[in-house]
Amino acid sequence: MDFPPELVSFLRKAGRVAALTGAGVSKESGLRTFRDAQTGLWAQHKPSDLATPEAFLRDPKLVWDWYAMRRGVVADAQPNPGHFALAGMARRIPEFTLITQNVDGLHVKAGSPQVIELHGNLQRVKCFECGQRAETWDADGGSVPRCESCGGLLRPDVVWFGESLPRAELEAAVEAARGCQVFFSIGTSGVVQPAASLAHAAHNRGALVIEVNLEPTPLTPKCDYAFHGESGRILPELVRDVWGGDEG
């Protein structure tokens, strides 16, 4: 792909860059999106049956088993060239902030040093009652594991429908968006709030906004550059054009 020379030049000089990634990045690693994963046994359930606090209180074993299945799938998944390209950017840019809506941990697996996980992480669990994270738990038991501190039921450490994003992570993401010179929106629809507002915050502060997505989104008209295709192809090419090397 031929990237505009002025973009390549700008990126080479940029010292503060932020990137937001969504499900499209992980889909290239073979991971289905949340709703796509509801096949077979799970096809009969609505998202509200599996991803809300009310659903967990109603049937904690159903919800625990659903997430245990997804956790196993994610554990076997591998980062794709897009993940590695972003890790490469982090090594080359003085202040690079990677923000993700994904809960699969593939950015960390690819070597990105600091990742803001807005929606949590499937590989972590915490207590439904006291919120304390559990380092270990009985994954083979017939019932939902309990917190060693308070005895409450353990749940996946992800953000469910109806829950607020973790405050510290959201504040860090907003700060990065407002302070960056370049903002990437990658593999995300640009409609899920509050994550979707980050690109607009960056745009309003004068940042260059770059979209990498399979198809146009509501954000596209506000972007300075929009590249439509697989991030696993576009991002490594961009890194090579801007900084050289062979990322991804």
- Residue 83 is a catalytic residue: no
Helices (H), 77-221: 81-92, 106-109, 167-179, 197-204
Secondary structure E strands in the chain = 16-21, 95-100, 115-117, 120-127, 133-134, 154-158, 182-186, 208-213, 225-228
Q: Read off the DSSP letter of residue 41.
A: G
- Report strand pairing: 133-134 vs 120-127: antiparallel
Residues 204 and 212: beta-carbon distance below 8 Å: no
Query: In whole angstroms, what is the distance from residue 109 CA to residue 13 CA?
Result: 28
Active-site residue, from 45, 83, 107, 119: 119
DSSP β-bridge partners for residue 127: 154
Q: Which residues are catalytic?
A: 119
